[in-house]
Structure 1
Amino acid sequence: MRATIETVELPSTCTEIYRKGEGPTLVLIQGGGTGKRAWYPIIDRIADRVHCLAFDNRGVGKGADIGDSLTIHDLAGDAAELIEWLGEGPVHVAGVSLGGMIAMRLASERPDLVKTLTLHSTTAKRNGRGQDAADFRMRILDLGLPVDVLRRFVALWSEGAAGLTWNIPDDVVNTESFDRHNYEMQMEAARGHHMSVEELNRITSPTLITVGSDDILTTPEDAKHLWRSIPGSRLIKVQGGGHGYYIDDPDLVAMLQAGWVAQHSHTP
């Protein structure tokens, strides 16, 4: 099945989108410092029944460079503009890690654009360990260490009980096109992320939350907080999964993601 790549100019930014598949539209939002290509293994597994659209956030891949500041609200606004550009009405939306932060903000502020919501490996606020990991990433850069050290650090914090069983996608801390300023701004956006229970209560889209049992960045307790706060949401814990379980086990994530879309594709 043929994929297409297109540059899209939006009111607030520009991005590159990757589309593949037929069926209900699913917009996929990637995590911090990572581009759209990390979604490709999952897209390949569901494109026979889901029209998938992945794009680059500001500061990664072919996304626009970041200026002096960046917030999750800004990134959610970009996603809203992209969905409006599609002109298809509400669509299914999924986000992982920082992408999940963007997706939950989008669903809370623009429920008219989100048919269903899937939140993988994410949180409504940074916990202490996640904050420590972000701080240490910046320390690696301050010390002037090779970018590949940062890349391996991200992998280490993303593994589950079985250790590192996956090859890190090229988009994860891309050593060839790494831009320190853009990376730092994305980390700052994640650091400033916080959604209150009241804001989470405003999410009306059917919501699926997934978390690895061994995720030490966005923990099962973080996922439970989302589940308790988002009305009618469902929670799935992946035994032995770490923060990067969606990369480690694309077959499982594809099954969960396609199933959630299919379950809600014929509702008004």
Structure 2
Amino acid sequence: MKRALLGADEAFGPDRVPPPWPGRMAVIDGEQIFVRDTPATRPDAEPALYVHGLGGSSHNWTDLSGLLADRLDGQAIDLPGFGRSDPTKQYTLKAFADRMIRFIEVGDRGPVHLFGNSLGGAVAVRVAGLRPDLVRTLTLVSPAMPFLDPRRSLQGPVVPLLALPRADRVAAWMMGRLAPEEMAEQVIAACFNDVTRVSEQRRREAIEEIRVRYTATHYADAYVRSLRGLVSSFLRAYLPGANSMWKIAAQITAPTLVIGGRQDRLVDIRVAPQVAKAIPDSRLLILDGVGHVAQMEVPRIVARGVVALLDEYERERTRV
């Protein structure tokens, strides 16, 4: 593990708030996955794949993927059951990772520069650890890797509900009590440290995303079962066996950037250094005054970290 470097801020030009990138449906093994494409601005841009967190969507990568468009030809996906993607039969880390692997294989764009936030970070760890041939570099933003103290997450009080046989009904009832505007404000408050960094356009988009969730009858089930699968992976990580997320992280060969927000309310801040320590070729970037979604709260800083990683990757590849 080493300290992350930052590229030049001037390389990104003035701040702007781009609209969501164009979306389309892709069929993977008979199921529809919603994909947003960030068109590259350079013909030699390399492929990238962005994977969102629990309850998120491809919208979560709009700003970062736009900043990186001169280096990366980006695709951000909605995980199965989230955003506009179809529901699926299994909501485990293995199932999500298998779907991402198939997405890369079917698209014939690999290897990719892989990005993951929160749940998507854990999925990306599994992809990079088990299929190193598909990953050029890895960027993890507040990855939801194992920690066993629920008091260190705002989702801790929800964990006991996972034992209920129809927890999805409870979750749907709880969500249904709030208007989309109220739910969006709660999500923003949980994920951001400084909510003033959220533009009005992004607030409107967040509200629209909540409305999409409310019309998707499968959403509560997808959320609860994904959280249950994540918690299960936390428990297995400390048991013997090949499925330990820490053992899988130790197998990653791709150059990796691990980013943590010091004011993260959802993932224990101690996790990011542990992840960086577990991954052999890693760089750690801890951001003061930042919450759970650094790629949305401070996208320019995250982009600077990624550019430094890409530059290092290019130098190493040229040297070989």
Name the structure where helix makes up a greater proportion of residues: 2
Residues in 1 aligned to 2:76 and 2:171: alpha-carbon distance in whole angstroms: 29
**Higher radius of gyration, 1 or 2:** 2
Structure 1 contact 33–186 (Cα < 8 Å) conserved: no
The match for 1:50 among 52, 61, 72 is 72
Report sequence identity in percent. 23
Distance 1:172 1:190, change over 3 A: farther
Per the normalisation by structure 2, the TM-score is 0.74
Structure 2 gaps, min length 5: 1-17, 162-166, 214-218, 238-243
Amino acid of the residue matched to residue 103 of structure 2?
A: L
SS of 1:157's equivalent in the other structure is: helix
- The equivalent of 1:166 in structure 2 is 198
Residues 51-88 of structure 1, C-alpha deviations (whole Å, 9 max, x = no match): 11111110122211133x31011000111011112223
Aligned alpha-carbon RMSD (Å): 2.7
Which of 129, 134, 145 pairs up with 1:113?
134
Count of residue pairs brought into register by the alignment:
265
Whole-angstrom distance in 2 between the partners of 1:250 and 1:58: 25
| Aligned mate of 1:132, from 150, 156, 172 | 156
Give distance in 1, aligned partners of 2:266 and 2:228. 16
Equivalents in 2 of 1:262, 1:9: separation in Å? Answer: 34
User: Post-superposition shift, 1:171?
Assistant: 5.2
Match of 2:305 among 252, 256, 262: 256
What is the TM-score when the length of structure 1 is the normalising length? Answer: 0.87
Distance 1:82 1:265 in 2: 25
- 2:272 matches 1:223: yes
Note the C-alpha offset of 1:133. 5.3
Equivalent in the alignment of 2:210: 175
Query: What secondary structure, in the 3-state scheme, does the structure 2 residue paired with 1:236 have?
Result: strand
Q: 1:24, 1:265 within 8 Å by CA — same for their partners in 2?
A: no
Structure 1: give runs of 5+ residues left out of the alignment: none
Bigger Cα displacement from structure 2, 102-111 vs 172-181: 172-181
Q: CA deviation at 1:147?
A: 5.3
SS at match of 2:258: strand
- Which sits farther off after the overlay, 228-237 or 176-185? 176-185
Partner deviation per Cα, 1:76-111 (whole Å, 9 max, x = no partner): 011101111222332110101111011001111111
Are positions 1:240 and 2:258 aligned together?
no
**Which range moves more in the overlay, 247-256 or 146-155?**
146-155
Structure 1 partner of 2:187:
154
Q: Deviations over 1:226-255 (max 9, x none)?
A: 111111211100111111232111221222
Q: Which residue of structure 2 aligns with residue 35 of structure 1?
A: 57
Q: Indicate how the Cα distance of structure 1 residues 79 and 252 shifts in structure 2: closer, same or farther if over 3 A, else same.
A: same
> Aligned partners of 1:152 and 1:136: how far apart in 2?
24
Per the alignment, residue 226 of structure 2 pairs with 186
* CA contact 2:47–2:113 (8 Å) conserved in 1: yes
State the alpha-carbon separation in 1 of the partners of residues 183 and 171 from structure 2.
7
How far apart in 1 are the matches of 2:30 and 2:146?
25
Determine the C-alpha separation between the residues in 2 that align with 1:133 and 1:254.
33
